[in-house]
């Protein structure tokens, strides 16, 4: 998928997240936001997988280390959902690690536990 299509889908994902946040606001569990975002993505016709397994390539084998991305969207964008007081460097590191080991370029980190969702959004780019 080319960069412009990835940007289009990332904007659609953010729009879906904003719809969820507008309807629910902050203060709920991560799992609630995840299910509601899945609903919005589905209603928007966006292909995604929930709890997407990510294996680690070690030498010549893929090893299942039980890593799971919250969402894999259009097989290109990893989305991690949080409901925390504030995003920490460890959250960004987790997403960047997922991007690197899955060989994906773009990830979205979305913290729903904020008054304004734009303050809880981070785009993370893996410089392949």
Blockwise average pLDDT, block size 10, the chain, 128 residues: 89 98 98 98 98 92 91 97 97 96 96 97 92
pTM for the full predicted model: 0.94
**Distance between CA atoms of 63 and 32, rounded to whole angstroms?**
30
Domain range for 35:
3-125
49 burial level (CB within 10 Å; 0-12, 13-18, 19+): middle
Residue with structure tokens 């904007």?
A: 11
Q: What is the pLDDT, as a whole number, of residue 125?
A: 96
- Report whether 34 contacts 70 (CB < 8 A): yes
Q: What is the pLDDT of residue 3?
A: 81
Rounded distance between C-alpha atoms, residue 3 and residue 106, angstroms: 10
Q: How many CB atoms lie within 10 A of CB 93?
A: 11
Q: Domain tally for the chain?
A: 1
Check residue 21 and give its pLDDT.
98
């Amino acid at each position: 998928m080319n960069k412009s299509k990835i940007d289009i889908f990332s904007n659609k994902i953010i729009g879906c997240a904003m719809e969820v946040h507008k309807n629910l606001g902050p203060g709920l569990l991560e799992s609630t936001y995840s299910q509601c975002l899945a609903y919005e993505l589905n209603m928007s016709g966006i292909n995604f997988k929930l709890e997407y397994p990510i294996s680690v390539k070690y030498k010549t084998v893929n090893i299942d280390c039980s890593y799971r991305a919250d969402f894999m969207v259009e097989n290109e964008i990893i989305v991690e959902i949080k409901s925390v007081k504030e995003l920490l460097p460890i959250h960004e590191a987790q997403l960047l690690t997922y991007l690197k080991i899955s060989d994906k370029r773009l990830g979205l980190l979305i913290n729903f536990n904020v008054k304004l969702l734009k303050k809880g959004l981070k785009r993370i780019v893996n410089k392949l």
